[in-house]
Structure 1
Amino acid sequence: MSVIASFVLGIGVAIAFVAKYLSSHVSSSELLLVELGAIIIMAAIFALFARLIKQPPILAYVIAGFIIGPAAFALVKDIEIIKSFSEIGIAFLLFIAGLEISFKKLKQVNIKKIILITTLQVFLVFFITLLLVKYIKLDLRQGVYISTALAFGSTMVVVKLLSDKGELVTMHGRIVLGILLLQDLFAILAVVLLTSEKLSIMVLAFALLKLVSMVLIAYLLQRFLFRIIFKNATESPHSKELLLLSSLAVLFAFVMIAISLELSIAIGAFIAGVSLANLPFRVELESRVGPLRDFFSILFFVALGMQITLGGLDNEFPLFLFLIVGAFILKPLITFLLLRTSGYRQRTAFVSSLALAQLSEFSIIVGVLGFDLGILSQSILSMIILTTIITMSLTVFFVDYEDKFYRVFKWPLSLLRFIPVNENLGYRDKEKKTVLLIGCDRMGSIILRELIKENKGEVLVLDYNPEVIAKLREKRISCIYGDVKSPDLLENLNLAELKKVVSTVPDLDDGLVLLEKLHKYNKNIQIILTAKNISDALELYDHGADYVMIPRFTAGEVVNSIMRKDKESLENIKANQIARIKSANSILK
C-alpha cells in the first residue's frame, strides 16, 4: 500500500513540474485549458491517494489546490477565473443540500423535539463560543463569524458516511439527519444576516423580508408550475436532457433572483433545491445534476486550497486549538446533554453527538464571506479551512469506530443514568424466549413468518430500524431495538435460555461478535448467520457457525433447481411463491 501511495504521489509531483513548464510556454488562449487540466489531474491523483489511506476526497482536493496554488508550485496564474468556477460549485453544493430538505425525511423523526434540540444546540454553541473568543484576541465581529462557523455540522460528509454504513435508518441516523437538515436552514438564515451591512433592526427586518419573499416565490412556483414542468419533462422521450436542463434553469433562475435582491447566491441555490425537494422526481434530479455538482465542487475545494497561505498561520495557533476544542468537545457535549435530557438513550445520544463533531462546508462559506467583507484576515480564513478539513477527516474515524469510542466513555457517561429514558421502542411479553431473530426486514420477514407459525411467544426480534420495531409492536411480536455490536445489549438478554439464533445481517464483523458472545454464555445454542460472500461464510464456519446463508449463492441453487421444472410445475411454484411473499410482506405492513 505504501509503495502504491508513493508511486501516486510521485506521478503528481511529475505532472506538477510538466504543468509548470507548459504554463510559461503556451499562448494565453491555451493557458486556461492547461490550468484546468492541471487542477483536474492533480485533484484526481490526490483523491486516489486519499482513497488508499481511507480519507475523504475533500481533503485531497484542498491539498491539490494548496500544491498548485501560490504557496507551492503556483501553477495557476489567473486564480480569479477559478474562483468564479468555485462560486458555481457553491451554488451546486447548496442546491443539492436543498434537495435533501424533504418533509418526508423530517417526519421520520420526532420533528418537534428535534427542532427544539437543534435550535438550542446552535444558539448555545454560538453564544458560548462568542463569550470565549476574547481569550484568543479576536474582536466581536470576528467572533461572530468564528462562532457561526463552529455552530454547524457537515451534512455532506456525515450523511455520506452514515449511508455507506447503512445507519441512516437507525434511530441515531434519523436524529443526526434531522439535526443536520435543520442546521442547514439555520445556516442559510445566518448567511442572510452576515451579508447585511449593518445589524440594525430595520436592516435585519428588510433582509428577512427579502428571504421570505424568495421562499414565497419558490412555494408558489413549486405548487403551480414546477410539478407540471417536471412531469412533462419525465414523460418526454428526451427526459434525461430535459430534467437536467429544467433543474439547471430553476437553479440559475433563483441565483439571479438572489443577486437582484442583493442576497448571497448560496441562498438562491439553496432555496432552488428546497423548491424541488418534495417533487416526486427528486431522486432523478439529483442523479442528473450530480456529475455537474461534483465537477464544480472539486473546483470550489481546489480554489479553497489555493487560498491557504502559510504566512501568519503560526500566529493563529490559538484559533486552531479553539476550533478543535469547540468541534470535538464543546459541540458534542452540548448535543449529548440536549439529547440525553430529551429522553434518548445513552448510546443513541452519544453516537449522534459524535457524528456531529466537525466543522461544515458552511463554515468555509462563512469564512470566505468574512474574508470578502474584510472582517477576517487571510490567515484566519486559512486556519478555518484547515480546521474544517481536519475535523471532516477525523469524522470518518468517529463514525467507523463509534462503538469503541462509546466503550471508552461509557463510565463517565453513566453518571447521567439518573436521567429517565423515553425512547419508547420495543415490546416484550412475559413468555420465555428461545429463538432470537436478528434483522427482520426483507429476508428476515420471511423467516419470521415461519417462526411465529411454530410458536409466536418464543420468538424475540432484534432490529435497528425504528420503523420495523414499530410495526412489530403493533402486531404484539416481542422485539427490541438495537445493534449486535452495541455494548451490553446481548448480555442484557437471557442468552442461556436461547436455543436458536438466526441473523440476516450480512456483516462479517457482526457475525464474529455474535459468535463470540453467544458461545461465551451458551455452548449448545444453534447459530445460523448470513454472509455477503463465500470467503466470509468460510470464516464464520471456522469460528463456530452452525449454518451460513449466502443469499446470492442460495438464489443460484434455487434457480438451478427451477430451471429443471416444466412449465406446469413452474406455475405451481410461482403461485406458492407469490402467496409466501404476500404473507411475509403482511407482517411488516
Structure 2
Amino acid sequence: MESLFFDIGLLVIIATILGYLAMVLRQPLLLAYVVGGMLLGPTGLWLWQQLATLGGRKLPAFSLIGNPEVIHTISVIGIVLLMFLVGLELDLKKVKQFGATIIGISLIQIVVTFLLAAGLGAVLGFSWVTNMYLAIGLVFSSTIVSVKYLSEHKDLSSLYGRIVVGVLLAQDLLAIFTLILIASIGATGTLSFLTLANVVIKLGWLLVLTIILAHYIFPLVFSVIARSQELLFLSGIALAFIFALMAENLHISLEIGAFLAGISLASLPYHAQLATRIKPLRDFFIVIFFVILGMNLDLSLLASVWWQTILVVLFVVLLKPIIVLAGMGLLGFKRRTAFMTGISLAHISEFSLIVLQLGKSVGQVDEVLISLLTVVMIVSIVFSSYLYTYRQQIYNALERLLRVFERQTFVHPLEVAGNISGKPEQHIVLCGYGGMGHDVLINIASATKNYLVVDLDPNVIRLLMAKKVPAIYGDIADEEILEELGARKAKAIVSTVRNLFSNLALIKHVREENKKVPIVVLAESVADALELYDAGADYVVLPDIVGGAHTAMVFEDIQHENLDKLFRLKRKEIGQLRIQQLLGQERRR
C-alpha cells in the first residue's frame, strides 16, 4: 500500500513539474506527461546508464515505479470517464443524422489506409503476415487522444468534432471484431463466423438496453436523484462503471460501454451539470494514462529499426490525414472540415498494440514489430498534439493547396450553408451563439434587425434558422466565411468565441481592409487579452469576471456610436492588464 501511494505521488509530482514547464514554454501538456513517463520508465533508466557510462561508472538496473501494472489499471478509470463524457455530450437524436456519413468516411479511411500500409510493409521488407498486422495497427487512431484534443479546444460540438468521434467509434468496433478474429484463428486455426455473430448480437442487445433506459427509465429515476448534487455525481460515475463492466463481460470494449452509458443520459436536463462535476476527476486519471504511456517507451529498442520507425511515423502523421482529407472531399465536405478531421486522426491507437500482443500470443507477431508500433504510437501522439495545437496556422498556410481536395459541384448536406442572402453591409456580426452569445444576441436583436450570427455547431445553426435568425455555419478563422459574412463592411463585430487563434485570425482578416470597424472579443487569460489588444481588438472581455450582460453593455456603446467611451475603457483596461501581468496574476478571478 505504501509503495502504491509512493508510485502515484511520484507520478503526479513529476507530471505537475513538467506540465508547468510545458505551460511556460507554450508546449502541449500531453508532451510533458509522456516525457514524465519516459523518465520514470525504461527510457529514463537507459539514459541514466548512458550518463553513468560516460562518467566511467556502471549503474545497476532499478525501477522508480514499483507497481506499474496497478497504476495502469488505475489509469483505465480515466478512459472510462473520458468516453462517458463523450457520450454525455452527444444527444442520440442528433447522432442519427451522421450515421450514413460516418459509415462512408470510415470505410474510405479504413480500406485505403489498410492497403497503403500493407504496401509500406512490403517496401520495408516485412513478411506477408507481418504486413497484415502492421496495416491493421496503422488503421486505428487513438480515441482517448482525439477526444482529449477536441474537449480541450471545445471542438466536440463542431461538425468535424462529431465526425471524428463517429469515425473513432467505428474503428473501435472494427478493433473488437479484429481481436475476435485473431483469437478465433489462434484457438482453432479457422475463422469462426459463429463467434462474430455472437458479438454482433451482444452489441445489439447493449444498444437496445441503452435506448430503453434513455427513453423510459432514466428520465424518472434521475429526476429523483438530481435533488442531491452529490448523489447525481456518484450515480453518473456508477453508471459509467456498470456499462463498462457489462461491455467487458460481453467481450466488447469497455470504452464503448462507457460511451453508451453517457448516451443514455445525454438527453436529460442534468447532463451538463453532471459533465461539469466529472471533468476534473477525468483529467486526473487521464494524466496517469499518458504518463504510463511514456513509461512503455524504451528508446534502447530503436537501434535496430530506426529507419523503419521514421517511415511509419511519417505515414501516420502525414499520409493518414491526406487519406481522410481526400475521402471527405470526395463526399462533398469543405476543405476546412476535411482538414480538421484528418489531423485529428493523425496517430495510432492503444488498440493497435493490443491487436499485436494478441498476435504475438498466437505466434504470428514478433517483439520487433511490437516495439516499432509502440514507438510510432507515442511519437505520433506527441507530434499530432502540435498539429492540433497549431491547426489553424497550418490550415491558413495550406489553404490554397487544399482546394484540390474540395468538390466544386457538390456540397455535403451536413455542411450547413445558413440562411443569408446577398452581401450584407453596415450590419452587426455576432460570432458564437453558445454561452455569452445568447445574451449578446438578445441585446443586438432588440436594437437592430441588420445582424448576422456565425457558429461552428451545425445544430446551433439549425436552431437559429428555425427561429428565423439570420445565421451561417462556419469558422471565423476561415477567410471565405468572413467574406460571406461581409465582416469587412460590418458596423461592428462581437465574438464570444473563446479560441485565441480564431479571434486573432478574425482580427487580422478584418483589419487588412477595415481599420475602423469596432471589434469586441473574448479572452481566457491576461496574456491572451493583451495579445488580442495588440492585434487590433477594440475591447476584450474576460469572462472570469464579466458575463454576457457586460458584453451587451459594451455593444450598446457601439450601437449608439459612443466610441470615445469605448476607447477610454480600452486604454484603462490595457493598463490594468499590464499591471496584473507584471504582478504575475495570469488569470483574473
TM-score where L is the length of structure 2: 0.73
Unaligned runs of 5+ in 2: 49-60, 554-589
**In structure 1, C-alpha distance between the alignment counterparts of 2:229 and 2:451, rounded to whole Å:** 52
Pairwise CA distance, 1:205: 1.1
Asked if residue 444 in structure 1 is aligned to residue 433 in structure 2, the reply is: no
Q: 1:104 is aligned with what amino acid?
A: D
Partner of 1:480: helix, strand, or coil?
A: strand
Asked if residue 353 in structure 1 is aligned to residue 342 in structure 2, the reply is: yes
Say whether the 8 Å CA contact 1:495–1:522 is kept in structure 2: no
Corresponding residue number in structure 1 for 2:63:
76
What CA deviation, in whole Å up to 9, does each residue of 1:130-172 have, x standing for no partner?
2331221222222222212211222212222222222222222
**In structure 2, C-alpha distance between the alignment counterparts of 1:202 and 1:216, rounded to whole Å:** 25
**Match 2:264 to one of 279, 294, 298:** 279
Corresponding residue number in structure 2 for 1:505:
497
**Match 1:380 to one of 360, 366, 369:** 369
**In structure 2, C-alpha distance between the alignment counterparts of 1:365 and 1:157, rounded to whole Å:** 16
**Match 1:463 to one of 446, 455, 463:** 455
- Structure 1 residues 32 and 224, CA gap change in structure 2 (3 angstroms): same
- Structure 1 residues 48 and 372, CA gap change in structure 2 (3 angstroms): farther
- Structure 1 residues 86 and 100, CA gap change in structure 2 (3 angstroms): same
Say whether the 8 Å CA contact 1:403–1:487 is kept in structure 2: no
Q: 2:150 is aligned with what amino acid?
A: L
Pairwise CA distance, 1:47: 5.2
What does 1:414-433 align with in structure 2 at a 5 Å threshold? 414-422=403-411, 423-430=415-422, 432-433=424-425
**In structure 2, C-alpha distance between the alignment counterparts of 1:393 and 1:528, rounded to whole Å:** 35
**In structure 2, C-alpha distance between the alignment counterparts of 1:427 and 1:207, rounded to whole Å:** 50
TM-score where L is the length of structure 1: 0.73
Pairwise CA distance, 1:339: 0.6
Partner of 1:279: helix, strand, or coil?
A: helix
Say whether the 8 Å CA contact 1:499–1:524 is kept in structure 2: no
Say whether the 8 Å CA contact 1:316–1:380 is kept in structure 2: no
Asked if residue 389 in structure 1 is aligned to residue 381 in structure 2, the reply is: no
Corresponding residue number in structure 1 for 2:137:
149
Say whether the 8 Å CA contact 1:35–1:76 is kept in structure 2: no
**In structure 2, C-alpha distance between the alignment counterparts of 1:234 and 1:461, rounded to whole Å:** 34
**In structure 2, C-alpha distance between the alignment counterparts of 1:297 and 1:532, rounded to whole Å:** 23
What CA deviation, in whole Å up to 9, does each residue of 1:247-282 have, x standing for no partner?
545544554x35xxxx5xxx3524542452333287
What does 1:120-159 align with in structure 2 at a 5 Å threshold? 120-159=108-147
**In structure 2, C-alpha distance between the alignment counterparts of 1:476 and 1:384, rounded to whole Å:** 52
Corresponding residue number in structure 2 for 1:19:
none
Pairwise CA distance, 1:127: 2.6
Corresponding residue number in structure 1 for 2:152:
164
Q: 1:64 is aligned with what amino acid?
A: L
- Structure 1 residues 173 and 38, CA gap change in structure 2 (3 angstroms): closer
Pairwise CA distance, 1:320: 0.9
Corresponding residue number in structure 2 for 1:97:
83
Say whether the 8 Å CA contact 2:430–2:494 is kept in structure 1: yes
**Match 1:189 to one of 153, 170, 177:** 177
Asked if residue 480 in structure 1 is aligned to residue 472 in structure 2, the reply is: yes
Moved more, 92-101 or 390-399: 92-101
Asked if residue 333 in structure 1 is aligned to residue 322 in structure 2, the reply is: yes
Say whether the 8 Å CA contact 1:153–1:360 is kept in structure 2: yes
Q: 1:134 is aligned with what amino acid?
A: A
Unaligned runs of 5+ in 1: 1-28, 562-589
User: Which one has the largest radius of gyration?
Assistant: 1
Corresponding residue number in structure 2 for 1:571:
none
Pairwise CA distance, 1:344: 0.8
Moved more, 230-239 or 545-554: 230-239
Asked if residue 204 in structure 1 is aligned to residue 192 in structure 2, the reply is: yes
Pairwise CA distance, 1:176: 1.9
What CA deviation, in whole Å up to 9, does each residue of 1:355-382 have, x standing for no partner?
2111122223333333444433333222
**In structure 2, C-alpha distance between the alignment counterparts of 1:446 and 1:77, rounded to whole Å:** 53
Partner of 1:278: helix, strand, or coil?
A: helix
Say whether the 8 Å CA contact 2:153–2:499 is kept in structure 1: no
- Structure 1 residues 222 and 334, CA gap change in structure 2 (3 angstroms): closer
**Match 1:522 to one of 514, 522, 545:** 514
Percent same amino acid among aligned pairs?
A: 26
Q: 1:173 is aligned with what amino acid?
A: G
Say whether the 8 Å CA contact 2:431–2:476 is kept in structure 1: no
**In structure 1, C-alpha distance between the alignment counterparts of 2:284 and 2:441, rounded to whole Å:** 46
Q: 1:110 is aligned with what amino acid?
A: F
**Match 1:59 to one of 29, 34, 37:** 34
**In structure 1, C-alpha distance between the alignment counterparts of 2:82 and 2:40, rounded to whole Å:** 23
Pairwise CA distance, 1:391: 1.0
**In structure 2, C-alpha distance between the alignment counterparts of 1:371 and 1:287, rounded to whole Å:** 42
Moved more, 100-109 or 340-349: 100-109
Corresponding residue number in structure 2 for 1:14:
none
CA RMSD in angstroms comes to 4.2
Pairwise CA distance, 1:306: 5.2
Say whether the 8 Å CA contact 1:69–1:307 is kept in structure 2: no
Pairwise CA distance, 1:125: 0.9
Asked if residue 179 in structure 1 is aligned to residue 167 in structure 2, the reply is: yes
Q: 2:326 is aligned with what amino acid?
A: L
**In structure 2, C-alpha distance between the alignment counterparts of 1:502 and 1:286, rounded to whole Å:** 28
Say whether the 8 Å CA contact 1:193–1:199 is kept in structure 2: no
Partner of 1:387: helix, strand, or coil?
A: helix
Pairwise CA distance, 1:115: 1.4
